[in-house]
Amino acid sequence: MKRSLLIPFVCALLGGGVVVAVVAAAGGLSKGGTTVTTVQAAPAAPSNASAPAGGLTPGEIYKRAAPGVAFVTSTVVQRSESPFNLFGGGESQRQGVDTGSGIVIDTKGTILTNYHVIENTAKVTVSFEKGKTLEAHVVGKDPSNDLAVLRVNPEGVTLHPIALGDSNGVQVGDPAYAIGNPFDLERTLTTGVISALQRHLTAPNGFQINNVLQTDAPINPGNSGGPLLNSSGRVIGINSQIETGGSGNGSVGIGFAVPINTAKSEIRQLEKGGTVAAAYLGLVTRTVDGSLSALNLPVQNGALVLSVQPGTPANKAGIKGGSAASSESGEVAVGGDIIVGINGKKVASSEDVANDVASHKPGDKVTVELLRPDGHGHWGKKTVGVTLASRPSTAPEGLNNTPGG
């Protein structure tokens, strides 16, 4: 599922009270930063049903979880060309403030949030219940999944960690509860349901985030980095982006959360510091389905390789992309390989490729099973070995927001 994202990002300049708006290529729900998609969707009324049998009421969930939701304030430095330098090259600097939310995950002072909340920050402070504010340090970040870990000195503060759940067990229709700081309204609770699964979002560095949870629990600017909770009060996602319907910066009942299992798989690495190095294959694929029937492909499922980035593991392994042609759903590259398996596991879609690559680390060796056209209407089977590399800091042109690896 391809999304086109526009993110107006607004922050107040310190000292002058001036507001500056700029457009970013990726971002989310930090206050003043709202994701807008090109999909026009009717507002979905949030569900305020009471807790299901065996679950907690919204009030009980709030009482348990709200003390573990942090108010995150980032001071960012904005650079621009100085209008007073007649010969060019001079820069002026202004400080801006961005606000979001965070999740306390242990009593040692570890806080999970979105990467875009603290991106380019010069200083981060975290406020807890009863107004206690501490300076925080960014100890680890993963721009590819819009995740970051902060650390505060817990001395003199009683921290209330929120239990992490299992996003793999989430089903459409399950109750969902969001707690955060929308529009600086601290620790606000909204309720709804999980309205869809397996969505895709664009990360701040242009790569795709997979397996995203969609909810109709209202979330707004300032909710970024806060928890999406299940009926047991456990975190199942990190609220990150919203659909605004193109009508403004507010919620229309469609929000998106990075699944907590994605965060759980790398929290230990994030706590050790630095940037998470994701595995990288270096190609763009498209799911083989009925929309490609006119191409007379040899299989009904798989991942058609549209393009291969130069110098990447896929390129070095000899995997081939195609050339432009037309299909029912528009122009598509044909004549490229079709990936049908990775390490003996069947590949039925582009998402399978992305998920398989994401499950590995840079340096891992994988075998990729392909079907390759001979140019005369026939296809042959081929298996290639690939040594995965580290994902680049930003997505190459053509790879943005597209399932690949």
Task: List the domains of the chain with CATH numbers.
Answer: 1-276 (2.40.10.120), 279-390 (2.30.42.10)
Q: Are residues 113 and 223 in contact, defined by beta-carbon separation less than 8 angstroms? A: no
C-alpha to C-alpha distance for 280 and 392, rounded to whole angstroms: 8
Q: What is the mean pLDDT of residues 364-393?
A: 91
Q: What is the mean pLDDT of residues 217-229?
A: 91
Q: Are residues 183 and 159 in contact, defined by beta-carbon separation less than 8 angstroms? A: no
Q: How far is CA 91 from CA 17, 80, 96, in A?
A: 21, 5, 16
C-alpha to C-alpha distance for 163 and 132, rounded to whole angstroms: 22
> 7-25 pLDDT, tens per residue?
222 233 233 322 222 222 2
- Polymer length of the chain: 405
Does 107 or 11 have the greater pLDDT score? 107
Joined tokens for residue 148: 């970051």
Q: Are residues 188 and 150 in contact, defined by beta-carbon separation less than 8 angstroms? A: no
Which pLDDT value is given to residue 394?
A: 80
Q: With left for phi above 0 and alpha for psi between -120 and 50, is residue 344 left, alpha or beta?
A: left
Calculate the dihedral angle through the C-alpha atoms of 157, 161, 162, 165, rounding to the nearest 10 degrees: 170
The catalytic position among 98, 142, 146, 352 is 146
- Lowest-confidence pick of 75-84, 109-118, 367-376: 75-84
Q: Are residues 227 and 233 in contact, defined by beta-carbon separation less than 8 angstroms? A: no
Active site residue 116: yes
Residue 301 amino acid letter: N
Q: How many degrees, rounded to 5, is the angle at CA 287 between CA 283 and CA 288?
A: 120
The catalytic position among 144, 195, 224, 349 is 224
Active site residue 329: no
Active site residue 289: no
**pTM, to two decimals:** 0.72
Q: Are residues 193 and 218 in contact, defined by beta-carbon separation less than 8 angstroms? A: no
The closest alpha carbon to 125, from 136, 113, 139, belongs to 136
- Lowest-confidence pick of 30-34, 319-323, 363-367, 383-387: 30-34
Task: Using the structure block, give the residue that is written with the tokens 């306390």.
Answer: 104
C-alpha to C-alpha distance for 27 and 205, rounded to whole angstroms: 9
Residue 266 amino acid letter: E
The pLDDT mean for the chain works out to 79
Instruction: Decide: helix, strand or coil at residue 18.
Output: coil
Q: Is the pLDDT score of 2 beyond 90?
A: no
274-275/133-142 β-pairing: parallel
Q: Is the pLDDT score of 155 beyond 70?
A: yes
Q: How far is CA 272 from CA 233, 260, 269, 289, 343, in A?
A: 27, 19, 5, 42, 30
Instruction: Decide: helix, strand or coil at residue 173.
Output: coil
The catalytic position among 98, 116, 350, 352 is 116
- Lowest-confidence pick of 154-168, 314-328, 331-345: 314-328
